[in-house]
Each structure stands twice: as structure tokens, then as C-alpha cells.
């Protein structure tokens, strides 16, 4: 497990690995995202990007 995070209902979270303790980034490969709503329906969206250098990353925009 890389990390676990709690996001309140109606809120969102932007997770950028180099800013969250993974200064060398994350290894390539497949990852499983598991969401739990504590008995409630979960409605979510995931977006991802990869780059060879932290300067390759772009600011998040909506």
C-alpha cells in the first residue's frame, strides 16, 4: 500500500506523488485504487499522468 486517505463527502483531493513523500516518483506498473463509502455509494473520478522528470508535470486544472 502506498497510501490511504480519507476524503469527506463532497470534497476532492489532488495527490501528486513527488509532493507527498515520493521524491523519486512511483515505479511503473499497474496500481489498484480502492474506494470505500462506508456503506454509501461512492461516485468518483480518477485522472493520471506520467513523466520522466518532475518538470514534465503540469498544474492540475478543471
| Confidence (pTM) | 0.54
Residue 14 half-sphere exposure toward CB, CA atoms < 13 A: 9
C-alpha closest to that of 37 among 3, 11, 7? 7
Percent of the chain with pLDDT strictly greater than 90 = 0
Tell me, letter by letter, the H, E, C secondary structure of the chain: CCCCCCCCCCCCCCCCHHHCCCCCCCCCCCCCCCCCCCCCCCCCCCCCCCCCCHHHCCCCCC
Percent of the chain with pLDDT strictly greater than 70 = 82
Specify the higher pLDDT residue, 39 or 59.
39
pLDDT at residue 48 above 70? Answer: yes
φ, ψ at 43 (rounded to 5°): -120, 110
pLDDT at residue 51 above 80? Answer: no
Query: What pLDDT is recorded for position 4?
Result: 83
Query: What pLDDT is recorded for position 24?
Result: 73
Amino acid at each position: 500500500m502506498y497510501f490511504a486517505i480519507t476524503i469527506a463527502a463532497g470534497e476532492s483531493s489532488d495527490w501528486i506523488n513527488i509532493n507527498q513523500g515520493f521524491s523519486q516518483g512511483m515505479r511503473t506498473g499497474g496500481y489498484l485504487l480502492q474506494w470505500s463509502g462506508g456503506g454509501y455509494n461512492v461516485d468518483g473520478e480518477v485522472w493520471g499522468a506520467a513523466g520522466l522528470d518532475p518538470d514534465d508535470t503540469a498544474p492540475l486544472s478543471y
